[in-house]
C-alpha cells in the first residue's frame, strides 16, 4: 500500500482506508481516556519529508455531550469537524514546545487563566467553546531504535484540571499511546507509520534512551 503524504493538500476522499483507520483509532483512544474524565482528543502529525516541526491537523473527536453542545452553540457538526480541518497547517506554539520535550516533558495548558493569545483565529477556540478548559499535550514518537523521531502531537481535553492521582494515570496512558522510551510501539504509531509517510525531527541520543 502506498503511504499517504502528510501535508496541506490532504483530503478524506483521497485517503480512503487511511482516514478510516485513523478516525476509528482516535475514537478508541478517546474512549480509553474517558474514565479519567477526558472529553475531547486532538491529533496532529508532522508534515512528510521534513525534519522541521511542521504540524498538520489530522483529527478532532469529542464525546457525544460535547458534540451536541457545540452543535447547539456554534452550529458546527463535530462529527465532520476533523474532516473539515484535515490538512490544516496552522502554526502551533504548543506543538513546538511538546516536540522539544519529546520523551521528557508533557505540556499542559490551563485556559482558565484566560490567556488565549497563542490561539490562532483558524482554530476557532473549539475546545474552549465546549467548556474544556484544561489540556495535556504529548509528542508522539515513531521510527525505530537508533532513528526515533517526533512524528506528531496527541492532546486530551478536560473541563478542569484533574487531581494529581488522575494526572499521573493520564500521563501513563499518554506515554503508552505516544510510544515514549520504555514503552513498545503503540497501535497509534503503527497505524500512522503504516498509512502515512511520517516526518518530524529525529531525537537526540539522550532522548531516545531516557
Give the pLDDT score at 90. Answer: 87
Cell numbers representing residue 120 in the block: 490562532
Distances in Å between the Cα of 30 and the Cα atoms of 26, 152, 156, 193, 206 are: 6, 17, 8, 20, 30
Cβ neighbours of residue 187 closer than 8 Å, sequence gap 6 or more: 25
Q: Rg of the chain over CA atoms, in angstroms?
A: 16
pLDDT tens digit sequence for 42-74: 999 999 999 999 999 999 899 998 888 877 777
Q: What are phi and psi of 203, to 5 degrees?
A: -80, 150
Does the CA dihedral 26-190-9-2 come out positive or negative?
negative
pLDDT tens digit sequence for 5-42: 999 978 888 888 888 899 999 999 999 999 999 999 99
Q: 4-205 has which fold?
A: Beta-Lactamase (3.30.450)
What does the DSSP 8-state code read for residue 136?
E
pLDDT tens digit sequence for 107-152: 999 988 766 565 554 454 667 777 889 999 999 999 998 899 999 9
Amino acid at each position: 500500500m502506498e503511504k499517504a503524504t502528510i501535508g496541506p493538500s490532504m483530503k478524506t476522499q483521497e485517503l480512503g482506508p487511511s482516514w478510516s483507520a485513523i478516525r476509528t483509532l482516535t475514537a478508541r483512544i478517546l474512549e480509553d481516556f474517558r474514565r479519567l474524565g477526558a472529553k475531547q482528543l486532538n491529533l496532529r502529525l508532522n508534515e512528510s519529508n521534513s525534519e522541521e516541526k511542521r504540524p498538520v491537523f489530522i483529527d478532532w473527536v469529542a464525546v457525544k455531550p460535547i458534540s451536541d453542545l457545540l452543535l447547539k452553540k456554534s452550529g458546527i457538526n463535530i462529527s465532520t469537524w476533523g474532516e473539515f480541518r484535515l490538512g490544516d497547517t496552522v502554526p502551533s506554539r504548543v506543538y513546538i514546545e511538546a516536540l522539544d520535550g519529546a520523551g521528557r516533558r508533557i505540556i499542559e495548558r490551563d485556559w482558565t487563566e484566560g490567556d488565549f493569545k497563542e490561539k490562532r483565529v483558524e482554530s476557532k477556540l473549539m475546545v474552549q467553546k465546549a467548556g474544556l478548559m484544561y489540556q495535556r499535550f504529548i509528542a508522539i514518537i515513531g521510527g525505530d531504535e537508533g532513528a526515533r523521531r517526533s512524528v506528531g502531537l496527541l492532546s486530551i481535553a478536560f473541563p478542569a484540571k484533574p487531581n494529581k492521582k488522575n494526572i499521573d494515570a493520564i500521563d501513563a496512558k499518554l506515554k503508552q499511546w505516544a510510544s515514549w522510551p520504555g514503552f513498545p510501539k503503540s497501535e497509534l504509531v503503527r497505524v500512522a507509520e503504516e498509512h502515512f509517510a511520517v516526518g518530524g525531527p529525529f531525537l537526540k541520543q539522550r532522548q531516545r534512551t531516557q
